[in-house]
Amino acid sequence: MNRCPITYAVCLEKYSPEGLKLFSRRLTGLSPLPFSGEELRLEAAAQAEKMSIQGVQPKVSARLNIRQQKFDIVDSGGLYILKPQLADYREVPENEDLTMKMAEAAGIDTPLHGLIYGRDNELCYCIRRFDRGTHGKKHHVEDFAQLGGHCRETKYRSSMEKVAAHIETYCTFPAVEKLKLFRLTLFTFLVGNEDMHLKNFSIIRMNDIIRLAPAYDLLNTTIVLPSTTEELALPLNGKKSNLNRVDLVDYYAFNRLELSQKVVKNTMEQLEQVRHQWEKLLAESFLSEKMKQKYGDILDNRFSRLYI
């Protein structure tokens, strides 16, 4: 028996029918990527100058070829981004896929994503581009670095307070989006993601409504870079570490975001109740047992500090 890398469900083949149907109702199988992990990393380096989505992780643009039941690597026009294994850091695709699934379970909007196999049976992270609609129609997207006049080199020179200010300035319904920001901030803290810089927040315009874009680039960076001492990429209440309930709830939710006590209480309860689902996802994930233990330790520590 296998476990589907798209849904984590037990299945007979490499992928479950339910997992394949998430990508297309006409998909009945999926051939391995025609690249090894090393070849994908080389291809990502070759595409780096052409892609509109940049970052530290190597990535390539891809199109789903339903007729041939495979992903084609393309220079442009791809509706999917593929992220292969990193040469220097362990299990990042497995980490990102798990963390994105946990975000979805927590009520955070996420694009379609999953793990797929390469030619050498190595897992690669796959996510659908949220800035592309049906038939490749482009949606207007700007990340918060662009909104604040920052570049890639200055994406850490801001604060969570300024992130909130961008929402108040640009979003059509800021009260709704600030609640989303609060949920995402708590989630980021709980799962050990200390790399939510300005380029990992975006707004998207759809049907003349400007709102926060679906979440992306979520992963437990603390277990990838265990030497880190920070807990958030952008300071909150003047702090990047040793954060607690006073900073995240009393200060950020009530004072800065001006959320009501009822809304905050409901959000906190929802995240606490979803923890058992996170632990189930963690157990079913494609992380090694050693990395699962490290991820679980981070959750234990962060929940104990937030829920006191």
- Closest of 1, 6, 38, 3 to residue 116, by C-alpha: 6
Kindly report, residue by residue over 13-38, the tens digit of the pLDDT: 999 999 999 999 999 999 999 887 77
DSSP string for 210-278: EEEPPP-S---HHHHSTT---S-SS-BTTBSSS--HIIIIIIIIIIIS---HHHHHHHHHHHHHTHHHH
pLDDT of 48: 56
Residue 65 has a CB neighbour count (10 Å cut-off) of: 12
pLDDT of 268: 97
Q: What is the C-alpha separation between 206 and 125, in angstroms, rounded?
A: 26
Kindly report, residue by residue over 195-205, the tens digit of the pLDDT: 999 999 999 99
CB-based contact 32:118 (threshold 8 Å): yes
Q: Which segments in the chain show pLDDT lower than 50? A: 49-54
pLDDT of 136: 67
Kindly report, residue by residue over 207-219, the tens digit of the pLDDT: 899 999 999 999 9
Question: Cα 292 to chain center, whole Å?
Answer: 18
For the chain, domain boundaries: 2-128
pLDDT of 205: 96
pLDDT of 40: 79
pTM comes to 0.94
pLDDT of 46: 66
Residue 188 has a CB neighbour count (10 Å cut-off) of: 27
CB-based contact 182:253 (threshold 8 Å): yes
pLDDT of 54: 40
